[in-house]
Structure 1
Amino acid sequence: MKTLKRYSTISLLLLLCFSCNIKPQAIDYGNDGCHFCKMTIVDKVHAAEIVTTKGKVYKFDATECMVNFIDEFDSSEIQLYLSNNYKEPEALIDATQATFLISKNIPSPMGAFLSAFKSEEDAKKTQAEKGGKLYNWNELLAHFKS
């Protein structure tokens, strides 16, 4: 009987550990829908994702949809903010550490002309070619609130 209780306790602990898996999910382009605007996510350069502290994933067709969504969401429940890296399509990067470029020469799905870059150097190179203005995460949030 003690052995059965021990196995039950171990099983329960393992279930709890694996049920709150806080990690990004791959976006299924052409099938997944944007949680904010409900459009199908097809753009492999501008998509974004939020992962909550409980492991729930919200997918977006553009970083601007994610930014607009967080105005309606309790940010204390968000563990990860992720955006696709402009220089490496489909690769999700930490949006809070990214450099963002708003350039009228780089269309994004919802018309904000917003792109995310893993490195500031890549963002500056693209800005030199395409024009626009650079933002860090906090500056970007302030820009969208104004």
Structure 2
Amino acid sequence: MQTLKHYSIYALLLLFFNCNVSPKAIDYGNDGCHFCKMTIVDKVHAAEIVTQKGKVYTFDATECMINFMDEFDTSEIALYLSNDYTEPEALINATKATFLISENIPSPMGAFLSAFKTNEEAKKVQTEKGGTLYTWNELLAHFKD
């Protein structure tokens, strides 16, 4: 019985200290960008980082999130999220997204960068708007140059 009591206490402590690693809805018009400090109003280009401990950092654009990564220990990051261009306000996994840089689609910080959940959606918009497609890793390399 004493052992069961100890296991119960450990289980409760684990539940209590368990961090919730999940996205948080961006409060457009109120939340600020953790990199450039602008108020986030663009529902198409916003982004978010969630750490392993569940802390959320919001950004007005994916390019701000990438620039913020230079100032942060990326081993602590659990989720990289960007708004889906075709579904405003919907956060998608940035590491699996396809990105389009097109001068015909302005973004808040002037990088003309938009994220798409699927490669097919990105190619369709690229056909209409022009530009260059990138994977997450290609995009990171592009911004380092």
Aligned residue in 1 for 2:125: 126
Supply the distance in 2 between the matched residues of 1:3 and 1:144 (Cα, whole angstroms): 54
Aligned residue in 2 for 1:66: 65
Q: How does 1:1-146 map to 2 (within 5 A)?
A: 8-17=9-18, 20-146=19-145
Supply the distance in 2 between the matched residues of 1:3 and 1:122 (Cα, whole angstroms): 54
Supply the distance in 2 between the matched residues of 1:98 and 1:2 (Cα, whole angstroms): 48
Cα deviation, residue 16, structure 1: 1.4
Change (3 A) 1:2 1:119: closer
Supply the distance in 2 between the matched residues of 1:99 and 1:141 (Cα, whole angstroms): 12
Instruction: Give the SS at the match of 1:59.
Output: strand
Supply the AA of the counterpart residue of 2:127.
A
Instruction: Give the SS at the match of 2:140.
Output: helix
Consecutive unaligned residues of structure 2, counting only runs of 5 or more, are none
Supply the distance in 2 between the matched residues of 1:66 and 1:89 (Cα, whole angstroms): 18
State the superposition RMSD in angstroms: 1.6
Change (3 A) 1:97 1:5: closer
Cα deviation, residue 12, structure 1: 2.0
User: C-alpha deviations, 1:57-86, integer Å up to 9, x for none?
Assistant: 100000000000001111111111000000
How many residue pairs were aligned?
144
Supply the distance in 1 between the matched residues of 2:57 and 2:89 (Cα, whole angstroms): 16
Q: Runs in 1 of length 4+ with deviation above 3 angstroms?
A: 1-11
Cα deviation, residue 13, structure 1: 2.5
Cα deviation, residue 28, structure 1: 0.3
Percent identical: 75
Cα deviation, residue 11, structure 1: 3.2
Q: Normalising by structure 1, what TM-score?
A: 0.92
Supply the distance in 2 between the matched residues of 1:96 and 1:11 (Cα, whole angstroms): 34
Supply the distance in 2 between the matched residues of 1:141 and 1:3 (Cα, whole angstroms): 50
Cα deviation, residue 14, structure 1: 1.9
Change (3 A) 1:14 1:110: same
